[in-house]
């Protein structure tokens, strides 16, 4: 617990081995975006094959499966989880609760470096013999560790080791975030005055702390099966004509452990996004969030319910119908608090003073994407609907919209929103608008038609679709269209990266609070905030985070730390 807050002077302690939460947040964000770029390129490789099969020799079946696996794993774990908790969580928690830093700055620094090691181990799997694993992001045994699956020798081992390291990093960070929220809030910052961003990240972190152990256990046990020849998950099996020494294990046991992590993981990604988007909408609509307490309880309820829905990922595994009934019911129940949140966002917008800024555009795009992607979740939550659709593109469309594109739209919105605080400069508005419209419309062009492909019965995970009589020619045309859209969306991200790099140096100088936001991070004495965040005195909080457009005030917002008897400006 080294907690000395002398501002560091040397280059290394200031920018590299920094214990300042703001620097660590930027490190997390940049690393996650970089690895996310790899994930994006991999998705384009897959799309090239699907849209124009046979035209690109360098995408053979093995490479396709490797791209599929690594795209999924990178996006879910190494990009979304890392950027939302390690990036946004790190930057915003201390600033929003009025703390000088995380309570354990050294542990915080360690968390980033361990995360970086996990990323490097993952990327190393691209250069080992056999390449990265192509087992699918769920890594289901027995196929994930048997010959025939690409990367079954080295790739899978590096994948599992990388995940275990990532979990250690996430736990270090998570202990810090939760303890900081519980213990380091400024005077007057009660739990029910926390901005919803903090609530979302807080609850997601608790989920991460208690769900990642399930992945850890399944990962270690799978490593045992692979390296030591145990039969935790491996049944008696004949592989490539050879009977193997495994016997008696249960692949279903792996699926239970994996999804006991895997479903909370969806909310580890979604809850921070819910929180951030609430603050974006309220701030840019100049209106208090509708039903603040309801929003908080919805976040808590979603967090609790998310640990009892996991087997809806396993409806096709041949489970007891009573078991399937239970998980279908819990899955549909979790839609209730989720729908409450969507209604509250809409009611916040209702008669608001909506500013269509770039962050607001992304927030609105999120609501649309999330509502539509979420609705198909209601279809799939029913066992009888899920079974025929489970292995089709309908599911690909569903989860990409609801937990892929929707959170990433919030991440973009969040970056455009907080960039002025982080860098002291505004991001370019025109580029931002182009980026939004290309990404938003493009994402619909990619994923909306996939619902139709799913209804056609087009199976997901396939490398090629030749000679399937039930797939009409039009489906192939549609796939070519989707691929073109995917290439355009990927190219549009270059606008974002350019904007980020250009604005950091050349962007218009930002004022301390360009959006007129109420939350504490915008009330720092310096922009970007200095070491220790608050200068001589930490703020004292007098009200909740959503005091927008109060009657009888000249300004249309009151910061959380403005004294109650402040003169009307």
Partner 1 sequence: MEASIDLARPARPATARVAVWLLLGVVFVLFVLCLLAYAMRMRLGDWRALPLPWQLNVSTAMLILSSASLQWASVAARRGGRCARGALFAAFVFAAAFLAAQAWAWQALVAQGRLASANPSNGFFFLLTGLHALHVLGGIVALLLAGRRGERLGLCALYWHGLLAVWLLLYATMAWLTPAIVDFICGVA
Residues found near partner 1 in the complex (CB under 8 A): 1, 3-6, 100, 103-104, 171, 175-176, 178-179, 182-184, 186-187, 209-210, 213-214, 216-217, 220-221, 224, 228-232, 245, 247-250, 253, 256-257, 260, 532, 537-538, 540
**CB 250, min distance to partner 1, A:** 6
Q: In the bound complex, what is the minimum distance in angstroms from residue 345's beta carbon to partner 1? A: 31
- Give Cα separations from 378 to 297, 300, 314, 320 (angstroms): 21, 20, 16, 21
Nearer to partner 1, 225 or 279 (CB): 225
Output the smallest distance, CB 103 to partner 1, in A. Answer: 5
Instruction: Pick between residue 249 and residue 404 the one whose CB is nearest to partner 1.
Output: 249
512 and 524 Cβ atoms separated by less than 8 Å:
yes
Say how far apart CA 545 and CA 518 lie, in whole Å.
6
For 471, the token pair is 């797939």
SS3 52: coil
Task: Tell me how far apart the terminal alpha carbons of the chain are, to the nearest angstrom.
Answer: 43
Q: At residue 436, what are phi and psi to the nearest 5 degrees?
A: -60, -55
For 36, 51, 68, 250, 369, the CA distances from 56, given in Å and listed in that order, are 23, 11, 16, 39, 32
Start-end of H helices in 306-357: 321-349
Shortest Cβ distance from residue 46 to partner 1 (Å)?
33
Burial category of 152 from C-beta neighbours within 10 Å (exposed 0-12, middle 13-18, buried 19 and up) = buried
Minimum CB separation of residue 15 from partner 1 in Å reads 20
| CA dist., res. 461 & res. 261, Å (int) | 22
- Cα(521)–Cα(97) distance, integer angstroms: 8
Nearest Cα neighbor of 166 from 265, 252, 251 is 265
Taking the least distance from each CB to partner 1, the nearer of 168 and 415 is 168
Nearer to partner 1, 175 or 446 (CB): 175
| Least distance to partner 1, CB of residue 59, Å | 37
Nearer to partner 1, 535 or 550 (CB): 535
For partner 1, the closer of residues 87 and 105 by Cβ is 105
Name the packing angle between helices 196-223 and 251-284 (round to 10°): 160
Structure tokens at 11: 């280059």
Cβ at position 188, least distance to partner 1 in Å: 9
Tokens of 263: 């479903």
Minimum distance, C-beta of residue 234 to partner 1, in the bound complex (Å): 10
Residue with Cβ nearer partner 1 (238 or 568): 238
φ, ψ dihedrals at 238, nearest 5°? -105, 120
Question: By C-beta, is 258 or 548 nearer to partner 1?
Answer: 258
Q: Which residue, 99 or 492, has its beta carbon nearer to partner 1?
A: 99
Alpha carbon distance 328, 311 (integer Å): 9
Q: Which is nearer to partner 1, 160 or 360 (CB)?
A: 160
In angstroms, the CA 114 to CA 45 distance is: 29
Q: Which residues pair with 242 in a beta bridge?
A: 239
In the bound state with partner 1, the residue whose beta carbon lies nearer, of 300 and 375, is: 300
Distance between CA atoms of 42 and 238, rounded to whole angstroms? 32
CB of 41 to partner 1, least distance (A): 35
Q: Please, what's the b/e burial string for 280-294 (b: 16 or more CB within 10 A of its CB; e: otherwise)?
A: bbbbbbbbbbbbbeb
CB of 100 to partner 1, least distance (A): 7
| HSE-up (13 A, CA, CB side) for residue 93 | 36
Nearest by Cα to 515 from 411, 416, 412: 416
- Nearer to partner 1 (CB atom), residue 457 or residue 532: 532
Report the C-alpha gap between 185 and 103 in whole angstroms: 10
Shortest Å distance, C-beta 105 to partner 1: 9
Contact between 544 and 530 (Cβ < 8 Å): no
Give the nearest distance from C-beta 128 to partner 1 in angstroms: 24
Question: How far is CA 221 from each of CA 218, 255, 497, rounded to the nearest angstrom?
Answer: 5, 12, 40
Residue with tokens 């996990």: 118
Min. distance of Cβ 323 from partner 1 in angstroms?
Answer: 12
Nearer to partner 1, 90 or 338 (CB): 90
d(CA 275, CA 296): 9
Distance CA 97, CA 539 (A): 9
Question: Which CB, 235 or 291, lies closer to partner 1?
Answer: 235
DSSP state of 561: T
425 beta partners: 509
Q: At its nearest, how many Å lie between partner 1 and the CB of residue 187? A: 4
């Amino acid at each position: 617990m080294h907690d000395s807050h002398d501002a560091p002077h040397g280059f290394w302690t200031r920018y590299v081995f920094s214990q300042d939460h703001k620097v660590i947040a930027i490190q997390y964000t940049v690393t996650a975006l970089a690895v996310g770029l790899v994930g994006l390129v991999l998705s384009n490789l897959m799309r090239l094959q699907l849209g124009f099969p046979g035209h690109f020799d360098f995408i053979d079946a093995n490479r396709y499966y490797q791209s599929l696996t690594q795209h999924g794993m990178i996006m879910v774990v190494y990009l979304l989880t890392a950027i939302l908790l390690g990036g946004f969580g790190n930057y915003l928690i201390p600033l929003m609760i009025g703390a000088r830093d995380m309570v354990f700055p050294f542990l915080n620094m360690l968390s980033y470096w361990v995360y970086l090691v996990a990323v490097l181990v993952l990327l190393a799997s691209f250069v080992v013999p056999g390449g990265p694993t192509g087992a699918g992001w769920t890594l289901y045994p027995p196929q994930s560790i048997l010959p025939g699956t690409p990367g079954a020798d080295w790739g899978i081992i590096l994948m599992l080791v990388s995940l275990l390291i990532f979990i250690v990093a996430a736990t270090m960070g998570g202990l810090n975030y939760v303890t900081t929220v519980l213990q380091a809030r400024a005077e007057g910052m009660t739990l029910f005055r926390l901005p919803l961003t903090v609530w979302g990240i807080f609850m997601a972190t608790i989920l991460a702390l208690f769900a990642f152990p399930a992945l850890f256990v399944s990962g270690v046990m799978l490593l045992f099966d692979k390296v030591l020849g145990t039969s935790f998950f491996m049944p008696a099996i004949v592989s490539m004509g050879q009977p193997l020494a495994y016997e008696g294990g249960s692949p279903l046991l792996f699926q239970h452990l994996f999804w006991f992590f895997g479903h909370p993981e969806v909310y580890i990604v979604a809850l921070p996004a819910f929180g951030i988007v609430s603050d974006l909408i309220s701030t840019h609509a100049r209106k208090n969030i509708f039903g603040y307490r309801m929003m908080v309880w919805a976040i808590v309820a979603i967090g609790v319910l998310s640990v009892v829905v996991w087997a809806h990922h396993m409806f096709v595994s041949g489970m007891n119908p009573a078991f399937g009934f239970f998980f279908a019911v819990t899955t549909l129940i979790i839609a209730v608090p989720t729908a409450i949140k969507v209604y509250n966002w809409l009611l916040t917008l209702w008669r608001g003073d909506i500013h269509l800024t770039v962050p607001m555009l992304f927030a609105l795009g999120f609501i649309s994407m999330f509502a539509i992607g979420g609705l198909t979740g209601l279809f799939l939550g029913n066992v009888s609907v899920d079974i025929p659709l489970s292995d089709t593109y309908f599911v690909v469309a569903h989860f990409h919209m609801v937990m892929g594109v929707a959170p990433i739209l919030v991440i973009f919105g969040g970056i455009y929103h907080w960039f002025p605080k982080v860098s002291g400069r505004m991001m370019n508005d025109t580029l931002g608008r182009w980026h939004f419209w290309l990404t938003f419309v493009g994402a619909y062009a990619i994923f909306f038609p996939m619902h139709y492909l799913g209804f056609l019965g087009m199976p997901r995970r396939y490398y090629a679709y030749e000679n399937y009589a039930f797939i009409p020619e039009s489906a192939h045309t549609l796939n070519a269209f989707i691929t073109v859209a995917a290439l355009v969306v990927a190219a549009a991200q270059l606008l974002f990266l350019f904007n980020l790099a250009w604005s950091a140096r050349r962007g218009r100088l930002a004022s301390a609070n360009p959006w007129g936001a109420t939350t504490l991070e915008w009330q720092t004495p310096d922009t970007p905030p200095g070491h220790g965040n608050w200068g001589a005195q930490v703020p004292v909080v007098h009200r909740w985070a959503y005091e927008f457009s109060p009657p009888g005030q000249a300004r249309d917002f009151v910061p959380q730390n403005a004294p109650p008897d402040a003169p009307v400006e």
